[in-house]
Amino acid sequence: MHLDELERLYNEQAYTEAITQLEIYLQDHPGAARGWQLLGLSQLENAKATDNRDLATAMYHSAYEAFSQVLLIDPAHVQARVHRAYMGANVLPEKGDETISDCDLLIAGGDEELTTKALLYRFQVWVLKNETDKALADMHRNLQVYESLYADDLPQLNVARFQCYTRIGDVYYHTENRPAALEYYKLAFDCTVFNNRLLSTTWFALDMADYDFAAAMLQVMISAGENTKEDILRLLRHVQQLLTDGVRNAALASAFCKGTTECWQEFYGDDDDEGTLEQISTGKRFIAQYPEEAYFYHYTATAFFNIGSYQEALPWYEKSLAIHAYPFSMVRWYFTTYKVTGQFPESWPELSHPIPYDWYAAGVIFSEIIQLEKDPAVKQASVALKRFLYKKAFDIYHAYWYDNTGDSYAGHPHHFAMCCNNYGIALYEGGFFAEAANVHTIGYNMSPFWEQLESRADAYHSMGKLAEAVADRQMILANFMEVLPLMYYVSIHERMIDDLCTLEKHAEALRLYETILEEYDSFIARDMQELEEYDRDTITYNIDRIKTGRAFIRTDSANDLSERILALENHLVEKPDDSDAYFNLMYLYFDNGQYDHCIGAINNRISIGGITKLPVISQMKIYYFRGKANLKLARYKAAIADLLYTLQIMSSGDAADNAPNYRFGVYAFLAEAYLGEKEYEECLAYAAQCLNIYASNNWAWDTEASSIRYIMALAYEAKEDIATCKKIIDQIVANDPEFRPAAEKKNQLRGGGLFSFFRKKK
């Protein structure tokens, strides 16, 4: 085999086969440095993967010898020397002298990144040799190199600093210089507050009676959620005993109280009333000891808050805010004020708080509180505060990760990503779709999870970027199936099918439609029975939406429209009260010329009810289509009633619901209906409204302009104003000679279909 083929085996992780083939190759090509390098890399990977210690050691020795062969052939081969130094420092302690020599050469090369590795490897050898001063000197030198290497990357620099300070602290700890060790652990914590040494370092700080440091780490552990509850409880119990034994430290007491809110039952029991009284007693006891510490007033207030005693909670929150305004105190005070006075405060306190997670958590707390409120106006009033809270967190996180400012309290990438998801949703709720999509992109790049993609897809959909929305949901299905809940798996299909139809990618939509319904029959209907009622109902709803969405999936079949109608009719046999099915059949029956069926579908939809809960645009469509169908059947009075009611519904909507092209469609059909009813003045009045819309929007003459003028001509003819009739007919022919009704002059126009309600004018 050639070296390129052997390298392909290595890249495909076929290490055992690569080793076998390389050994054969090197018998014939003993001077091939590249071959020895590939052999060493393959043996190194195999050694890392095996659980057999003796076998792994043998493999490491083989890899070491392979890299040594590379260096015999090419002493300047940097990567072979790096790998050999790595093994000498980490798994082959007997190679210490050779490792120091390798590291000296790497450091002399002047490459900063290689220097940091070599200094680390040499440090590890010095530690094994009990050369403490040399080990410390190498790690301090490493700090200097990192300062230069990561000068423009504060998050990476802080991680490197943390590793250096921790290693220096460990050296002091193992040489019995515990005070020095503690000082370096403090420096390490400041560089990376979210780290994997918090638990052990907190116990060490408590043992050293550095309660402020221990409290700071305990607060972070409670927020991070990366230690087991048992570990946190063990710490809290120990802290509780220290406080009981007479330790006086406000930060430690505050951390203890915060911890009990996460482990409430473990400290206050299952009886809510008794537990609340005990929490209030604990809060008041610490207030007596530390009257200038705001958190204990918050803690006491929250005990009242959690049982709905807002009147009692409010003064405690006000006292807490007066001393020091925490974000989590502010949101509860804000809601408590509403509960006591019936109104939200006009503004919230100005406060400066540097910890982004606290702002993010305050947003989550407030969202959960508001979610329990049933009044939509209350929820709407909360949107601005949620957006404010998440933005405060986002700005601090963003400055740390992108502008190299701030401290490592903003250094948790997953916290930042979760904040982005919640902030993006809050922006979306406020109608800021482009901003939401951008924030979700930042969050996904920071820590990818499927919820971020789903939220961004919603934003893209609302921006009209349907292809991007589909792509995000395709990425969810491709990469996150193992963690994607079944409920979302189904709903994602429903949304993708809808967007694909709008994009007129009907073949893709049909494949998804057939796949998800087949999966529903084969496993979804069974598996969903294990879920909570809400999830089951949501899946059923989305499956029904998918079935009714078949109305808009067009195919190349000669009987396409009939097949779509049949699919919905079959669905209604199973679900006779599915309002969406009747709503969609309304379109299909009209397009198929089944106007009585169209009216019947609409009447069924109205009889099911809930019309007023629909968006205004959907309410409009219901009566508009019934009006059009009645017009097709020459039921002019019924058509006029429906179309006038459509205008009434439109007037209750916003500017989008009253768009000029929407109004034109209704006015035009009213003009036609009044013509049929022989109420010519009303006909002309609505036709004139149509012409006014054309003029005010500067729309070019088109078929619809000809059609509405032709109706006017017929009305004048019926009024026996032949001159005006001829004048209008001549005008149509001059501007639109292909408009046959005008060219034929005497032919009568019957029926509708000339005006498109949702046609966008240009």
Are 755 and 669 spatial neighbours (Cβ–Cβ below 8 Å)?
A: yes
| Predicted local distance difference test score (pLDDT) of residue 534 | 93
Rg (CA), the chain: 37
Is it the case that residue 104 has pLDDT exceeding 80? Answer: yes
To the nearest whole number, what is the mean pLDDT of the chain?
93
- Segment holding 623, helix H or strand E: helix 616-632
How much is the pLDDT for 346?
A: 87
The type of residue at 134 is K
pLDDT tens by residue, 51-73: 899 999 999 999 999 999 999 99
pLDDT in tens, 622-653: 999 999 999 999 999 999 999 999 999 999 98
Please tell me the predicted confidence (pLDDT) of residue 356: 97
- Residue 528 CA to residue 520 CA, distance in Å, equals 9
Confidence of residue 94 (pLDDT cuts 50, 70, 90): very high
Structure tokens at 413: 């990438």
Burial of 352 (0-12, 13-18, 19+ CB in 10 A): exposed
Could you tell me the pLDDT band of residue 762, with boundaries at 50, 70 and 90?
very low
Mean pLDDT of all residues in 262-280:
92
- For 513-562, the pLDDT digits (tens) are 999 999 999 999 999 999 999 999 999 999 999 999 999 999 989 999 99
What is the reported pLDDT for 758?
A: 41
Mean pLDDT across the stretch 91-113?
96
Q: Rounded CA gap, 381 and 354, in Å? A: 26
Report the amino acid identity of residue 350: E
Q: Is the pLDDT of residue 751 over 70?
A: no
| CB-based contact 494:542 (threshold 8 Å) | yes
- Confidence at 414, pLDDT banded by 50, 70, 90: very high
Q: Select from 283, 263, 169, 154 the least CA-distant residue to 218.
A: 263
575-611 confidence digits (pLDDT tens): 999 999 999 999 999 999 999 999 999 999 999 988 9
Q: What is the pLDDT of residue 746?
A: 52
Flag the least confident range among 143-147, 332-336, 341-345, 755-759: 755-759
Residues of the chain with CATH 1.25.40: 666-750
Cα separations (Å) of 410 from 128, 217, 444, 576, 698? 36, 15, 17, 54, 54
pLDDT above 80 for 688: yes
Predicted confidence band of residue 380 (pLDDT cuts 50, 70, 90): confident
Q: Please tell me the distance from the alpha carbon of residue 566 to that of residue 557, in angstroms, as a whole number.
A: 14
690-702 mean pLDDT: 94
Residues in Cβ contact with 571 at an 8 Å cutoff, skipping those fewer than 6 apart: 544, 547, 548, 550, 578, 581
Mind listing the pLDDT tens digit for each residue in 277-303? Answer: 999 999 999 999 999 999 999 999 999
pLDDT at 756: 43
Per-residue pLDDT, 706:
96
Q: What is the pLDDT of residues 305-317, one digit of tens each?
A: 999 999 999 999 9
pLDDT > 60? residue 664: yes
Of 641, 652, 662, 560, the C-alpha closest to 599 is 641
Residue 759 has pLDDT above 60, yes or no: no
Give the pLDDT score at 609: 87
What would the 3-class secondary structure string for 214-252 be? HHHHHHHHHHHCCCCHHHHHHHHHHHHHHHHCCCCCHHH
For the four alpha carbons of 466, 444, 226 and 371, in that order, the dihedral sign comes to: negative
- Whether residue 761 has pLDDT greater than 70: no
Q: What's the confidence (pLDDT) of residue 546?
A: 94
Please check whether the domain covering 666-750 is classified as CATH 1.25.40.
yes
Q: Is the pLDDT of residue 188 over 90?
A: yes
> Which DSSP state fits 552?
G
Q: How confident is the model at residue 745 (pLDDT cuts 50, 70, 90)?
A: low
The pTM of the full predicted model, rounded to 2 decimals, is: 0.84
Of 651, 643, 721, nearest to 676 (Cα)? 643
Q: Residue 77 contacts by C-beta under 8 Å, 6 or more apart in sequence?
A: 33, 37, 70, 71
Q: What is the structure's pLDDT at 176?
A: 95
Instruction: Give the mean model confidence (pLDDT) for residues 738-743.
Output: 90
Three-state DSSP class for residue 476: helix
Across 309-318, 372-381, 461-470, 498-507, least confident range: 372-381
pLDDT at 425 (0 to 100): 95
Per-residue pLDDT, 755:
46
Tokens at 649, concatenated: 């519904």
Higher pLDDT: 499 or 757? It is: 499
Give me the amino acid identity at 295: Y
